Structure 1
Amino acid sequence: MYRKIFIDDENAAHRELSIYRKGHVNAIRLNDEGYFVYQSLPISAHNYAALFHYNSIDALNALPFISETKNGLDSWDEAYLPNTLLEKLIGILGDELDAHRETKPEEIMLGWQDSPEKISYWRVISPTEFCSFLESLMAFVKEAQTTGYDLEFIL
């Protein structure tokens, strides 16, 4: 039997676990001579888990993200989206927002270990918090679209 542990974002030991993942979205210009981040939006560990749990990443991968691994938008990767595709991104984010407004909170398992003891790691996903993030992301994307920025997703 696995001992069930819920991830606590305030617990430093939990933040050091390999399953504790966060990311961010950067407003950049792909044709700049150097790398410069004009604006950035953090993706909390909660929202990172929700993006994958709700299959929002799969929905976003309908767009042709550019990545070194050629996996599109994926965990442990960087992916880029040119400004010309941001309108489509906004549409997908709006669909995701609509799909999760009425969702109930859920407990999801992030991972487990068998030794030195059997432990499973869980997180409670709050649809309210996730929808708030999606709204912030949509606003960020709209601003990037207006100002001519491309996007970099670092997951």
Structure 2
Amino acid sequence: MNSTMLANVLNALKSATLSRLKHITLQTGTEQYFGPILDPSLEGKLVHQVPPFKEDLDRLPYPNFYCTLEDLVASDFPSITHPVHRWSIIIGASSRSVDNILLTLSVYATICQYQGLPFRYPGNKYTWEHFCDMSDTRVLAEQQIWAAVTYGAKNQAFKC
């Protein structure tokens, strides 16, 4: 479904701009390295990459729409450059972001410290015991701009 939507958008843009479209940015995420973590049928069966995650790691043996999008752009739109930015959780101050875990934990820790209370992690055991990385919105935006204007970044993957 995602690849069909992307193909429709790219086809419309290519025809509307008389093939002036030269660059798109693909933004994917954590499932590139962990597999389909939200698929309940695969609970306890997933084999994932081991941190630190690197851009040139092999694809995991699970269906992944990120890979489908990358393959679509590479094969059907070869004249369009397409760096891939692989983020995990995106954090950053935003008036429209009601779910920003790092800022939420920071405020909670500050309140605990102010009141002289111990900090107790509010998440579950899995999130406490497993690796998690986050990307700052400003750093991600700078990386995407850099990749758009840097010749050596064309069609490359970047972990942010």
For the superposition of Structure 1 and Structure 2, which TM-score range results when normalised by the shorter chain? under 0.3
User: Normalised by the size of structure 1, how large is the TM-score?
Assistant: 0.26
Highest Rg: 1 or 2? 2
Which of the two has greater strand per residue? 1
User: Normalised by the size of structure 2, how large is the TM-score?
Assistant: 0.26
Which of the two has greater helix per residue? 2
Q: Which has the higher contact order (CA 8 A, sep 6+)?
A: 1
